[in-house]
Amino acid sequence: MFRFLARLFGATSEAARRRDEEALLEANLLDALMEHIPDNIYFKGKDSRFIRINRAAAKWYDLEDPAEVIGKDDFDLFTREHAAAAFEDEQRIIESGEPIWHIEEKETWPDGRITWVDTSKLPLKDRKGNVIGTFGISRDITDRKRIEERLRAAKEIAEAASKAKSDFVANMSHEIRTPMNAIIGMAELMLDTDLPPTLRDYAETILEAGESLLTLINDILDFAKIESGKVELAPVSFDVREGIGSMMKALAVRAHHKGLELAYEIASEVPQVLVGDFCRLRQVLVNLVGNAIKFTEDGEVVLEVRVASTANDAVKLEFRVQDTGIGIPPDKVRHVFEEFEQADKSTTRRYGGTGLGLTIAQRLVEMMGGSIGVESVVGKGSVFQFTVGFGVGHDDALASAEGERGHLQGTRVLVVDDNATNRRILAEMLGNWGMLVTTVSSADSALDAMAASHEQSTPYSLVLSDVHMPDIDGYSLAASIRADSRFDAAVIIMLTSGGMQPDADILADLRIAAQLTKPVKQSDLQTAIITALGLADQPHCGNASRSLPALTKRSLRILLAEDSIVNQKLAVGLLTKWGHHVHVVCNGEEAVAAGDSDEHDVVLMDVEMPVMDGLQATRAIRLREQTTGRHLPIIAMTAHAMTGDREKCAAAGMDGYVSKPMRQHELYQTLAMFFPDLSEVACH
């Protein structure tokens, strides 16, 4: 019995001892945790006053000893802003018994500091499960929040900058388009008058140069679209020789102004009609040839087009733009396709430019399934080369062109040009038409060649001479030919650079049959030769495609609301030429007043005007019409070409839209949509 009791007491004291040890261990573990864990831990009573905090929390509150905080609450440590929010959270937990996980708390301190913590808060329960307070653990996330804050601010700045950029582009486009409207429009008006050939050529060049410039402006606008992958290709059938010829003629003005030779060669195996996005191709070429002209002081710029490969109804063409310009240093050459990148920043002031052109060119070429590259030697020049795939189209006009060319078969022609590239290109072109070509590089050798061929009774029917040559120029050569009766039958055609037009008397005296501006379009040269040799069945009308109706069957009464005097002149000139009556007003308010009567058939409404803009004026007119039941067609005329402008005009109640620079055809077709009887008139 004694032993039993002794064992029992021994066991009991053993259990108590073990329990004491466990309790001690537990307390030690908690102390260790509270002493060393880097996150802040707190325990609070139901009144949200602290019962205990850990060492890290004491440090966070700037206290020497964690015990200092016992009995205090958040209102003693923080500003009211944070203390009140934390108090509410804790009271909610006490009421609901539900914890809160990972909230981001903004802590505002009395000294003005702000810190951020990631906090989880839970109900504190006794052994029976009754809620007796709260406890929580929080981690400092101030650095992360500051970085996020900075990122957000940077993003806001970037977004504001991007908006400012597109606003700028839209405004710039508007500012440029307004004078362009006048340049293109006036040139078109001039072309519709009876012009002597030289002036017609000038006006056509102005028009074509204006059109290229306009394309460029549009494409700069498109840059944002290209960047966001929103550009879509618009494939059309086009005559590659005509298209590139016109483009090169437009660029020739600048090249000739600098005394550069500008030449192009399209290999004979390149199909006449291609299917592809010619506008985008032209944009790339205008950029590369434009750059070549810009960065070349002496020598020549040559565009070559060859077939790289063919497959069924498709062809891949290789375009090479070669210049004898300043070249690009090897360390810069890799970067020229990067946006806003210019090989030598100091050239910017000298040569101008944005550094955007090649980036756009590269993106467009890639979109068209090709690739672009460059090779360059400083001081010698550069070659930009790219490939693009096209479909092969059918050309109905080809047969007749070939028929006419048949007349040229076997005709002997002497080409005189000091520039070897030009000689090669002309020889190939004329040779392709079956002509027998001799090329010489100076006036002296031309006269020798003519004398020799006369001896052999195989005289040249045609002399095709450059005007601008060293030593003896083309006109002096022509004078020598005319002074020699042996060469009486020779027909002379001159090739000249832009600004070198002699007066008509000289041309007549020297019996120069035609004078063409370089680089000459294949079709223009062919027409000139056929006409000069008297082989044409009928005289050629070079501007058939441009002629527009001179008189309309129906005369419209048009209200024109436009504040720019130049644009007023242009529109009035055009519309009155078509036989319409135009009533001009200068702002939206006047348009609303004038539109009140039944006197007008249609309104042409500029969008941006002082006093009241076109959109407001349209809304006012439409509002008034709700009582009259009438509907006056309103056509917007705007230099805003950004996406969404058309929709804005439509939303204001406009019925049609013509973008500026206003193109005769576009305006005519838009009017014809409302007044179909206009389209029945005869073209002159």
User: Interface residues with ligand ADP (CB under 6 A)?
Assistant: 287, 291-292, 295, 323, 325-328, 336, 341-344, 347, 353-359, 382
Q: Which DSSP string corresponds to 15-83?
A: HHHHHHHHHHHHHHHHHHHHHH-SSEEEEEETTS-EEEE-HHHHHHTT-SSGGGGTT--HHHHS-HHHH
Give 377's strand partners: 381
What is the distance between the alpha carbons of residues 299 and 309, in angstroms, rounded to a whole number? 31
**Beta strands across the sheet bearing 114-125:** 50-53, 40-45, 131-140, 114-125, 100-108
Residue 225: Cβ within 10 Å count = 14
In angstroms, give the least distance from the CB of 176 to ligand ADP: 15
Cβ-based nearer residue to ligand ADP, 356 or 566: 356
Cβ-based nearer residue to ligand ADP, 326 or 437: 326
Cβ-based nearer residue to ligand ADP, 329 or 610: 329
Answer for the pair 640, 609: CB distance below 8 angstroms, yes or no: no
C-alpha neighbours within 13 Å on the C-beta side of residue 431: 12
Cβ-based nearer residue to ligand ADP, 382 or 638: 382
In angstroms, give the least distance from the CB of 454 to ligand ADP: 45
Cβ-based nearer residue to ligand ADP, 112 or 379: 379
What is the distance between the alpha carbons of residues 439 and 426, in angstroms, rounded to a whole number? 9
**C-alpha distance from residue 216 to each of 147, 241, 283, 285 (Å):** 41, 21, 7, 11
C-alpha neighbours within 13 Å on the C-beta side of residue 163: 6
* DSSP SS3 for 127: coil
Cβ-based nearer residue to ligand ADP, 302 or 435: 302
Q: What is the 3-state secondary structure (H, E, C) of 268-288?
A: CCCCCEEEECHHHHHHHHHHH
In angstroms, give the least distance from the CB of 363 to ligand ADP: 11
In angstroms, give the least distance from the CB of 220 to ligand ADP: 10
Phi, psi of 59 (to 5 degrees): -65, -40
Give, as one character, the DSSP assignment of residue 113: -
Write the CB contacts of 58 (distance below 8 Å, at least 6 apart in sequence).
64, 65, 66, 68, 69
**Beta strands across the sheet bearing 412-416:** 436-440, 412-416, 462-466, 491-496, 512-517
Cβ-based nearer residue to ligand ADP, 220 or 642: 220
Cβ-based nearer residue to ligand ADP, 116 or 223: 223
Cβ-based nearer residue to ligand ADP, 103 or 220: 220
In angstroms, give the least distance from the CB of 443 to ligand ADP: 32
Cβ-based nearer residue to ligand ADP, 93 or 251: 251
Cβ-based nearer residue to ligand ADP, 268 or 354: 354
Cβ-based nearer residue to ligand ADP, 178 or 347: 347
In angstroms, give the least distance from the CB of 227 to ligand ADP: 15
**C-alpha distance from residue 628 to each of 561, 602, 623, 632, 656 (Å):** 22, 16, 10, 11, 21
What is the distance between the alpha carbons of residues 72 and 58, in angstroms, rounded to a whole number? 13
In angstroms, give the least distance from the CB of 419 to ligand ADP: 19
Q: H helices within 258-397, ranges in order?
A: 278-294, 330-333, 347-351, 357-367
Cβ-based nearer residue to ligand ADP, 36 or 380: 380
In angstroms, give the least distance from the CB of 360 to ligand ADP: 8
Cβ-based nearer residue to ligand ADP, 382 or 517: 382
Cβ-based nearer residue to ligand ADP, 296 or 411: 296
What is the distance between the alpha carbons of residues 282 and 267, in angstroms, rounded to a whole number? 18
What is the distance between the alpha carbons of residues 684 and 672, in angstroms, rounded to a whole number? 18
What is the distance between the alpha carbons of residues 72 and 57, in angstroms, rounded to a whole number? 14
In angstroms, give the least distance from the CB of 347 to ligand ADP: 5
In angstroms, give the least distance from the CB of 283 to ligand ADP: 12
Both tokens of 107, joined, read: 């802590």
Q: Parallel, antiparallel, or unpaired for β 462-466 and 491-496?
A: parallel
Residues in the chain: 684
In angstroms, give the least distance from the CB of 387 to ligand ADP: 18
In angstroms, give the least distance from the CB of 240 to ligand ADP: 23
Determine the Cα angle at 626 with ends 623 and 628, to 5°. Answer: 115
Residue 668: Cβ within 10 Å count = 20
In angstroms, give the least distance from the CB of 116 to ligand ADP: 46
Q: Which residue is nearest to ligand ADP (CB)?
A: 353
What is the distance between the alpha carbons of residues 606 and 570, in angstroms, rounded to a whole number? 13
- Best CA proximity match to 600, nearest among 638, 569, 624, 631: 631
In angstroms, give the least distance from the CB of 173 to ligand ADP: 17
In angstroms, give the least distance from the CB of 506 to ligand ADP: 37
In angstroms, give the least distance from the CB of 281 to ligand ADP: 16
What is the distance between the alpha carbons of residues 252 and 333, in angstroms, rounded to a whole number? 26
Cβ-based nearer residue to ligand ADP, 209 or 336: 336
